[in-house]
Amino acid sequence: MAREAPIGSRVELSVSTTNGDKSYEGTLIPPAGTGLVTIKLENGYNLSHPEASVQGITVLGPGPSSSSGPSGELPEDESLPEVLLIHTGGTIASKVDYATGAVTTRFEPEEILASVPELRSIARLRVRMLGNMWSDDVRPRHWNGMIEATREAFDQGYAGVVITHGTDTLHLSAAALAYAWSGCGGRPPGRIVLTGSQRSPDRGSSDAYENLIAAVHWAASGPDPTGHRDASVVVMHDTGSDGRCVVLPGCSSRKGHSTRRGAFVVVNQGPIGHISLKSGHPVIEAPEPRGAQREVESSPTRFDEDISIQEFVAGPHLSPSMIRAAVRGGLDAIVVRGTGLGHLPIHDPLGDSPENPELASVLRDAVSEGVPVVVTAETVSGMVNMDVYAKGRDQRSIGLIGHGSLCPPGSAVIKLHHLLSRGMGIDEIRGAWSRDLVGENPPDSRG
């Protein structure tokens, strides 16, 4: 019965439920699972019922932008900007396997477009599949794939790109794109947006629908990037409620909650803007861009995939042997998430912890061998300040890098990788670390 109505049609779905017969109006979209009929309601949520409970489907007319041209493809408004949707995977590209209850990565780019027909009134969309992977599995080679895909898109004249990405490491890929395009002082030719979802698109409470609409709208019609804070942006739900998405700087964002829809936060600065979705069409609410617009960069910096950075967390189990083994293993740099203002366990005030001063000695040796050791704040927010206490000043005398930085821990690792990829040695990195390359170290946020 469902096959008699074309996908994309506006329909009335009549079903039999335990609470009696019900009717719903919406847009017929690809089914959320085998044996299901799925429609998108006016409020943006998806509704699925088993085919066996469907009493009838009445076609009310064409859905949003659903009339077909001669080739069977949807017609396009040639006045709209072109946007490339670069698909990498994640929850936004997943479905629930109703046989097991598990979420699986099997939502293809074409299905995304079919499920959100409103996108076609915002931009002329093209889709490129880079992969269908969970973000936990993303490596520097995948950052390079995204960088190359954006470069090719801009070379072909796209106004912007949207990268669909799993949320767990979305902020790392966003930072990688920001440093690649603007770390040397330029700006991307167009807008780069990363988005994802906390709940899969076939769930009634999914945030994918609004996140995609807002992301595509920013990529198509947002302000031109300056290269400062906005070389790449993250667009996600502002809060747990529908109707408003937030635009965050890709260089200073992170996932701040494991499950809620308003999961992403900006660190040590404010958001770039917001996108309201309450009027039926997305509306950008954004302040004026900060700073002067940089020159367009045509050749983004790729990440050296052979670079090895070891990350540690300061605390009672950080031992000299761990650092020594890492250095002997031939790593290129070390990042330690320091406590408080950026402190490490290097003092032995009671005379009962000789491993603490030994740790200081091992770190000093690493620095003397040319290994950059960067300290970030495990607190995430706030400045690394190694001038307040004697311990911090001792760390600076050892040669540890990081004093004065507002760069979030995740972005700091990407920044360090970027500088190493440019061939910088320890002294050059020390000089570059305090600079604000892409908006990660805003001078007006210190204090």
For 318, the token pair is: 């950080």
Q: Which position among 27, 88, 150, 168 bears the catalytic label? A: 168
Q: Which position among 38, 167, 195, 376 bears the catalytic label? A: 167
Is residue 155 flagged as an active site residue? no
| Phi and psi torsions of 17, nearest 5° | -125, 175
Q: Which position among 91, 169, 195, 301 bears the catalytic label? A: 91
Closest CA to 197 of 103, 74, 79: 103
Q: Which position among 40, 95, 255, 391 bears the catalytic label? A: 255
Is residue 332 flagged as an active site residue? no
Which contacts of 442-446 are long-range, i.e. CB under 8 A and separated by 24 or more positions?
442/229, 442/252, 442/268, 442/269, 442/406, 445/268, 445/269, 445/406, 446/383, 446/404, 446/406
Is residue 58 flagged as an active site residue? no
Closest CA to 313 of 338, 288, 294, 333: 338
For 115, the token pair is: 């499920």
Closest CA to 250 of 234, 239, 264: 234
The residues, ordered by sequence, that sit 6+ positions from 388 with a Cβ below 8 Å of its Cβ are 341
DSSP three-state, residue 298 = coil
Name the strand (E) or helix (H) holding 39. strand 36-40
Q: Assess contact for 273 and 247: CB atoms under 8 A.
A: yes
- Tell me which DSSP letter residue 178 carries: H
Q: What angle do CA 73, 92, 229 make, to 5 degrees?
A: 100
Is residue 95 flagged as an active site residue? no
Active site members: 91, 167-168, 255
